[in-house]
Amino acid sequence: EDKVVQSPLSLVVHEGDTVTLNCSYEVTNFRSLLWYKQEKKAPTFLFMLTSSGIEKKSGRLSSILDKKELFSILNITATQTGDSAVYLCAVVLFRNYGGSQGNLIFGKGTKLSVKP
């Protein structure tokens, strides 16, 4: 069975801290990895990673993929209270029909709380 595992499941930090969120996967036919931020309703897209070792950056957020060790990390520097959210990792597979798991598999998310 294909798996996407995020850690930690929850995290509490103070403003200004730097955090690293982890996403590991065991899947067949890996295509890409997606990171989303979910505050109240719809997840909003952060990054798509397809190649190992190439860091993607957007402001204080950055992410990198390691296809050899099968994981990705999402870094947030100088955290702010507005970063409080659930961060979701998803893996896209090279297949149209993957049985009951489909071809877009999500982890359980990491709930980040940033205290003032």
Partner 1 sequence: DGGITQSPKYLFRKEGQNVTLSCEQNLNHDAMYWYRQDPGQGLRLIYYSQIVNDFQKGDIAEGYSVSREKKESFPLTVTSAQKNPTAFYLCASRRRSRGRDTEAFFGQGTRLTVV
Shortest distance (Å) from residue 30 CB to partner 1: 11
Q: Which is nearer to partner 1, 14 or 31 (CB)?
A: 31
Q: Which is nearer to partner 1, 27 or 107 (CB)?
A: 107
Q: Which is nearer to partner 1, 45 or 78 (CB)?
A: 45
Provide the binding-site residues for partner 1, judged by CB under 8 A: 9, 31-32, 34, 36, 41-45, 48, 50, 88, 90, 92, 96-97, 99-109
Q: Which is nearer to partner 1, 76 or 109 (CB)?
A: 109
Shortest distance (Å) from residue 102 CB to partner 1: 5
Contacts of 8 (CB under 8 A, 6+ apart): 21, 22, 110
Shortest distance (Å) from residue 54 CB to partner 1: 14
Contacts of 85 (CB under 8 A, 6+ apart): 37, 38, 39, 111, 112
How many residues can be counted in the chain? 116
Beta strands in the chain (DSSP E): 3-7, 10-14, 19-26, 30-38, 44-49, 56-58, 61-66, 71-76, 85-93, 104-106, 110-115
Copy the structure tokens of residue 97.
């029909």
Shortest distance (Å) from residue 23 CB to partner 1: 12
